[in-house]
A and B are shown apart, each in its own frame.
Chain A
């Protein structure tokens, strides 16, 4: 891993000697950073190096988006179209065919999908990112973690577009969020990003050595993990009572995504017990009656977990990154 550290003050003698060499520019006299290439660089110095390369991060995010929609006719529009189409299908299936009476099911669904897409797109893209950028990894030195971070960053950009679709949607349906709890979106967003980065960095490194990771992650995240989160169904109406009966509620909440998804739903869907569209006088228990503090604490716990995971991922990545160039 290569890291840069501020230069030692150059000794006066060197400047004197080298300035004789050229009249064209003070090439040798200008301040320089010192870079150490070694297999043993601390996580903290690598993070500083990542921070120093933030401009590259921004550029790679743009590259990632550009490459994704290169040669496609609709281009960036796809980032809004694809969730809209997914939404249409789910609304049709669960709102009309398997109708359970939840009013404005699409809003409920979309609030969960928003955060889910950020997470899953982030880690799915990140998993393949080192392998897909072999051309760069084999030729240029830069903090490799940036690639995984850029993948999550591009997912963040897509999240923004989808959030715009969501706002549009809510405006059209005259559906007001819980204004006083809207900050929960931000509170849940931070752990989502950290968690995506942590898993993304970890999986990107593993995938270089085991290419199955990509396929495995697609299956696990794309289906198993998705259905483990209360996105398409409601925790309160569907699984809560059964889980409580078997004393397994804790297990359900071991999934860090659960509380994040529910935070989004609490802020955006906002209605805890809306009247069922079947029987207007029988309220439907869509969301639990938790205080805002419960959500904040839950999110904070996930954040703490995600930070630990992030550290572990950085350590693993650091140990594996040294041989990326030869494995690709």
Chain B
């Protein structure tokens, strides 16, 4: 079995929030012993292990303790209780750039950072050119870092962190900075690290990034770890939590908006479709793999909720799957707590491993909906599902002008069975013809 690279053992971190910050002696004396404060537990009893060579993402909304956790792992903050055991050299990139001394040049900072990571001057000498190359700083390397642009700053920070040969790399949302090309370069380096069996811990706001590069992900909410799971499962947990907390929506604002929206027109019944094609109603079909609905706390701020989401398959009575190219309808039944205008329904189809295959919403299709109070149904009609074998998850969402009102992930799923022997993801209509130079010979059936 693999050894543990990072072992987080029931780490808790308490911050004292002072209503007034008394940092001068006079104030401290005056208010000695009775400074009003609140205890804020940024982390509560978080425990997990990261085996060597694994890439683990940390998901959580703002203020959930992600950065505090990373700082504890890096040794910048001490946990109030519990401990973190890190095996091997750890290089971290927290928030914007690494720790640089503003007055020093980029060159001097590289050596300073290197010695902080425990490298000798000679070791840094060997890496120096790689770092400068990677950071693309060129002649700016001898300028003081206080004159660097934020992009240069981050590039240098990343270049140092990935070139000092760390065993454990910790990255906190820094990949969002820098141009696309540099981001790609960073991702390549991260993937190279994965191949080399290094351990990576990283925080990202982008669930897609977590899905695509992490082996597992930890989900934090209000300082508590609510799960450590495969990326797909973790992203689902994360999204659920996001909704349950009502974080997507400013509650009071949404209520105010609804009060104003009283005189609404009756919703027009319209079939949504891409402009170039119009098709008949889909056949109603069986429910293929619905998930138990999320239990969301009733909140004024989310006026529209899904009650049931089903995938309607064309030949539901005969087979619980579709063939490539057959239509599928996603029927979302919802309940509107009040009349709401400008509602947008969202659809997302994901393949195995959570790869995003298709995403659209009613606004992209050219309409928004004005809903009446009470139940209703919205249908996304996929006229053809040009996919090959696999199980596909369907996520649906509903958004009011004030924000996301409900999101189901996965709301339902459908399976595609591929009768042909072509492989891959997409059912491309294809035929073969020998145009010249011989005669076609049919393959005997059964081969």
Measured CB to CB, the residues of A under 8 A from B are: 1-2, 4, 7, 10-11, 13-14, 17-18, 21-22, 24-25, 27-28, 32-39, 52-53, 55-56, 59-60, 63, 66-67, 70, 133, 135-142, 209-213, 216, 321-323, 325-326
Contacts and interface: CB of A to CB of B under 8 A. Distances in A.
B103 A67 contact: yes
Contacts of B167: 27-28, 32
A137 B23 CA distance: 19
B195 A140 contact: no
Nearest to A21: B197
A35 B87 CA distance: 6
Interface string B130-144: 000000000000001
B88 A323 contact: no
Contact of B98 (A35, A140, A323): A140
Contacts, number: 159
A317 to B, nearest CB: 12
Given A27-B198, A322-B78, A18 B53 contact: yes
A116 B92 CA distance: 41
12 contacts: A18-B197, A21-B53, A21-B195, A22-B196, A32-B87, A35-B85, A37-B85, A56-B118, A140-B76, A140-B113, A141-B116, A325-B71
Contacts of A140: 74, 76, 92, 98-99, 113, 116
Interface SS, B side = loop
B326 interface: no
Pick the 3 closest A-B CB pairs, nearest first.
Answer: A322-B78, A2-B75, A139-B99
B104 A66 contact: yes
Contact of A56 (B26, B80, B116): B116
B87 A141 contact: no
Interface of B: 1-3, 15, 23-26, 28, 52-53, 71-90, 92, 94-95, 97-104, 108, 111-113, 115-116, 118, 120-121, 144, 167, 195-198
A141 B101 CA distance: 14
B86 A35 contact: yes
A211 to B, nearest CB: 6
Nearest to A32: B88
Contact of B74 (A27, A56, A141, A213): A141
Contacts of A325: 71, 76-77
A212 B83 contact: no
Contacts of A142: 116
A53 B85 contact: no
Contacts of B79: 37-39
A326 B81 CA distance: 16
Interface SS, A side = mixed
Nearest to A5: B85
B75 A37 contact: yes
Contact of B23 (A10, A25, A209): A209
A219 B295 CA distance: 63
Contact of B89 (A2, A33, A60): A33
Contacts of B115: 53, 55-56, 59
A11 to B, nearest CB: 7
A210 B116 contact: no
B97 A139 contact: yes
Contacts of B88: 32-33
A216 B26 CA distance: 12
Given A33-B89, A138-B99, A326 B1 contact: no
Given A36-B85, A140-B99, A18 B2 contact: yes
Contacts of B99: 135-140
Contacts of B108: 63, 66
A37 B86 contact: yes
A139 B102 CA distance: 13
Contact of A141 (B52, B76, B196): B76
A26 B210 CA distance: 26
A174 to B, nearest CB: 43
Nearest to B77: A325
A137 B100 CA distance: 10
Contacts of A34: 85-87
Contacts of B118: 4, 52-53, 56
B192 to A, nearest CB: 8
A14 B98 contact: no
Contact of B2 (A4, A17, A213): A17
A35 B25 CA distance: 36
A39 B94 CA distance: 21
A35 B167 CA distance: 12
B197 A210 contact: no
Given A24-B196, A37-B72, A212 B24 contact: yes
